[in-house]
């Protein structure tokens, strides 16, 4: 079942943290893996960042090209995976992967691939859903394979030759409430007969649509709640993690 896409509280909170971290490193060349609906890519484009966006969903690429026709773009897009870029000589100052890793079976090798695509001392900026105890219907609908624990994230990054610079547990308490409500809504309205791969492809470009949603849920209306949840970023209470990690210069064994 495909519904119109709309930014929800969780994605708005996540994007605010992503851009706060982007300001700290000011990358010259960015690779966004799994850009989905293109919302984050367009925000980076608007701020003058440059680079490449890739997605393994041809629909995501086609829809992005359609909706950006005639717009000045500092990012190009391609229908491929990160593995397809390994043989190229280009390397990036930053790899961005928001809500991607949880869809991938071999997440350890994927992290190593992203590391290989970075220039020396480049950064990885990723987000993943947190805590398997929070697993719900939304995870099944989106094609998730797992949710992550804090120690698991840091260990996997270390094994992939990254050093964690900053880790936030975001969204508490508002996104926690939104997730509970979303799980109930999805249980009633959404069927999951589609394969895991099909759900993964659709999750990046479609989300639940609520009447008057964009009027009630946007950057402006949620800003006070974003400021409130910042008090809990270092407490492991949120629905997801936003992590900034730096590539170590030494080679992966």
DSSP structure string for 151-208: HHHHHHHHHTTEEEEEEEEE-TTHHHHHHHHHHHHHHHH----S-HHHHHHHHTT---
In a domain, residue 48? The reply is yes
CATH (domain of 31): 3.40.50.150
Q: What is the mean pLDDT of residues 6-11?
A: 71
Alpha helices in the chain (DSSP H): 9-25, 39-46, 58-67, 107-116, 137-142, 150-159, 174-189, 196-203, 213-216, 219-229
The reported pLDDT for the residue numbered 30 is 99
Does a structural domain hold residue 252? no
Number of domains in the chain: 1
Residue 97 lies in a domain: yes
Question: Does residue 4 lie in a domain region?
Answer: no
Q: Report yes or no on 121 lying in a domain.
A: yes
Q: What token pair was written down for 222?
A: 């949620």
- Does the pTM surpass 0.95? The reply is no
Tokens of residue 174, six digits: 């508002």
For strands 92-98 and 75-79, give the pairing.
Answer: unpaired
- pLDDT interval class at 6 (50, 70, 90): very low
On whether residue 2 sits in a domain, the answer given is no
Q: Find the mean pLDDT for residues 86-109.
A: 95
CA 181 to chain centre: 21
User: Higher confidence at residue 83 or residue 252?
Assistant: 83
Tell whether 117 is covered by a domain. yes
Mean pLDDT across the chain:
87
The parent domain of residue 136 ranges over 9-247
Specify if 253 maps to a domain: no
| pLDDT at 253 > cutoff 60 | no
C-alpha dihedral (87, 110, 8, 147), degrees to nearest 10: 180
Report the C-alpha gap between 123 and 107 in whole angstroms: 17
Which of helix, strand or coil describes residue 81?
coil
Identify the pLDDT of residue 237: 96
């Amino acid at each position: 079942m495909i519904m119109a896409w709309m930014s929800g509280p969780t994605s708005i909170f996540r994007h605010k943290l992503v851009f706060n971290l982007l300001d700290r490193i000011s990358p010259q060349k960015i690779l966004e893996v799994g850009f989905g609906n293109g919302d984050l890519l367009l925000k980076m484009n608007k701020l003058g960042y440059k680079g490449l966006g890739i997605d393994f969903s041809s629909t995501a690429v086609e829809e992005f090209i359609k909706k950006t026709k005639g717009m000045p773009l500092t990012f190009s897009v391609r229908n491929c995976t990160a593995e397809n870029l390994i043989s190229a000589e280009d390397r990036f100052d930053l790899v961005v992967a928001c809500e991607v890793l949880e869809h991938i079976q071999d997440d350890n090798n994927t992290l190593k691939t992203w590391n290989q695509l970075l220039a020396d001392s480049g950064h990885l900026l990723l987000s993943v859903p947190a805590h398997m105890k929070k697993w719900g219907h939304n995870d099944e609908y989106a094609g998730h394979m797992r949710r992550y624990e804090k120690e698991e994230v840091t260990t996997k990054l270390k094994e992939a030759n990254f050093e964690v610079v900053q880790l936030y547990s975001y969204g508490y308490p508002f996104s926690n409430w939104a997730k509970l409500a979303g799980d109930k809504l999805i249980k009633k309205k959404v069927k999951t007969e589609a394969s895991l791969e099909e759900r993964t492809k659709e999750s990046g470009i479609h989300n639940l649509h609520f009447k008057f949603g964009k009027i009630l849920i946007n950057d402006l209306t949620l800003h006070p709640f974003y400021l409130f949840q910042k008090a809990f970023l270092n407490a492991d209470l949120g629905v997801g993690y936003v992590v900034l990690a730096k590539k170590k210069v030494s080679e992966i064994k």
